[in-house]
Structure 1
Amino acid sequence: MINAVLFDMDGVLLESFEAWASLVDAAARHFGHPPVTREAFRAVYGQPTQADVDHFFPGETVEGVEAYYEAHFAEHAAAAVVMPGAADVLTALERQGVPTAVITNTPSGLARQMLESASLAPVAVVGGSDVPKAKPAPDMVFRACEILGVEPWDALVVGDSPYDKQAAAAAGAPFAGIGGIEGNFTLSGLHQVLDIVEGTFK
């Protein structure tokens, strides 16, 4: 039985690649590093901030880069688009009494800012800054389940990357893949999350 749903953010609830790519490129210029192309950024998209530092901001601190991200994301927020069905699915789950969380490698403060700017309101947000190890480690799944008061095996993880799938598997949680990745359930759209919760998924 599914008692909670844990969503990845980027590529699942929000299509934010362009917003992130623009923000990271602006950060590179701010810190005096070479511009970051879309192609270069795609290779690390979805990974923790440490990956950005390693690839684009050598010598900078994760804390400094994350502070820049949080201070300047609003300048790039217009490029982030809510994924089809995201708002409706969150609302339907809330009405059914099924708690939701976002688990994202994005720092939690910035993740909340991004979700609020998109008018999306999960019960909880667990970001890369909230746990010892980001995805693909299971720490975020465990932390979200603790906050929501459910066991990992009763929480559906919805994601679009191998990091999401690996985190779910390591936590013992069922995984629903979207955007081309397969799982215990393979989704063609977010609306099918409701079918899984209701036990009618085909």
Structure 2
Amino acid sequence: MTSPLRLVIFDVDGTLVDSQADILAAMGFAFEQAGHPLPARETVLGIVGLSLEVAVARLAPELAPDQHLRMVGWYKDAYVELRRKSGAAQSSPLYDGAREVLETLNAIPDVLLGVATGKSRRGLDKLLDAHDLRRFFVTQQVSDHHPSKPHPSMILTALSETGVEARDAVMVGDTGFDMQMAQAAGVAGVGVSWGYHGIEALGEARYVIDSFTQLPAILETMWETAA
């Protein structure tokens, strides 16, 4: 009996790469341009994972929608400039063990890898190219084409593109939005403790890991249990 096809979907910011410095700086620029006080660091990082339009509106609900749109533009401009100055690989470094685990999982014949991120297509492309990660991910879901997390659209589309059943898929992420999205799509969630939301926000996760090196064994345990 052959094993079913599996799909492991990764969040990006706070899961695969640490981009908090650029996120905070770009958001600071957007709020400065708007003449509005920037919320506390933990508040800004608390919206990572949401689509940018939703994130800005949540951080500054008292501002008008047209101002939110301008802030989104200012944020994008600042983020692009920061990335131009230092390069995406340096400004958004991979977390320890990320590449090695991607290599390990990618070498398993019946395992496919994907991405579901609040980044734009342009932003994800720059990051994947900077780290030479594009070859790993057979499905890539970005904010341009989906409602913001935790809506399940990204995961449901990834399942449709790969032909994998929900019971054979796993979402790996650092935010409550990732785990809620996984639950809404009917797939298991694995939370990571090194990201931006903290363990207390990962209540819907089936497992929470403290290092990338733990992920292959956790996945094996989940798949053996489901068999």
TM-score of the superposed pair, with normalisation by structure 2: 0.75
Provide closer, same or farther for how the CA distance between residues 43 and 120 of structure 1 changes in structure 2, counting only shifts above 3 A. Answer: same
CA drift at 1:156: 0.8
When the two chains are superposed, the root-mean-square deviation of aligned CA atoms in Å is 2.8
1:93-148: CA deviation from partner (whole Å, max 9, x where unpaired): 111132111111122321221232233333132111121x2211111111112222
5 Å-filtered alignment, 1:1-202, equals 3-29=6-32, 31-34=33-36, 36=38, 38-54=41-57, 55=59, 58=64, 59-61=67-69, 64=73, 68=77, 71-74=80-83, 75=85, 77=88, 78-97=90-109, 98-121=111-134, 122-123=136-137, 124-131=139-146, 133-179=147-193, 180=199, 181=202, 183-199=205-221
CA drift at 1:70: 6.6
Preserved CA contact (<8 Å) 1:152 1:173: yes
Rg larger for = 2
CA distance in 2, matches of 1:4, 1:150: 7
Q: Structure 2, unaligned stretches of length 5 or more?
A: 194-198
CA drift at 1:85: 1.1
CA drift at 1:67: 5.2
Matched residue SS, 1:82: coil
Preserved CA contact (<8 Å) 2:53 2:68: no
The amino acid of 2:129's aligned partner reads E
Aligned length: 200
Provide closer, same or farther for how the CA distance between residues 39 and 115 of structure 1 changes in structure 2, counting only shifts above 3 A. Answer: same
1:155-190: CA deviation from partner (whole Å, max 9, x where unpaired): 111111111111111111011111123522221222
Identity %: 24
Structure 1 outlier segments of 4+, above 4 Å:
none
The amino acid of 2:191's aligned partner reads G
Provide closer, same or farther for how the CA distance between residues 101 and 65 of structure 1 changes in structure 2, counting only shifts above 3 A. Answer: farther
Of the structure 1 ranges 160-169 and 34-43, higher mean CA displacement relative to structure 2 is found in: 34-43
Of the structure 1 ranges 49-58 and 75-84, higher mean CA displacement relative to structure 2 is found in: 49-58
Q: Report which of the two has the higher share of helix.
A: 2
CA distance in 2, matches of 1:83, 1:145: 26
Matched residue SS, 1:176: strand
CA distance in 1, matches of 2:124, 2:37: 24
TM-score of the superposed pair, with normalisation by structure 1: 0.83
Provide closer, same or farther for how the CA distance between residues 73 and 116 of structure 1 changes in structure 2, counting only shifts above 3 A. Answer: farther
CA distance in 1, matches of 2:31, 2:128: 24
CA distance in 1, matches of 2:79, 2:140: 15
CA drift at 1:40: 4.9
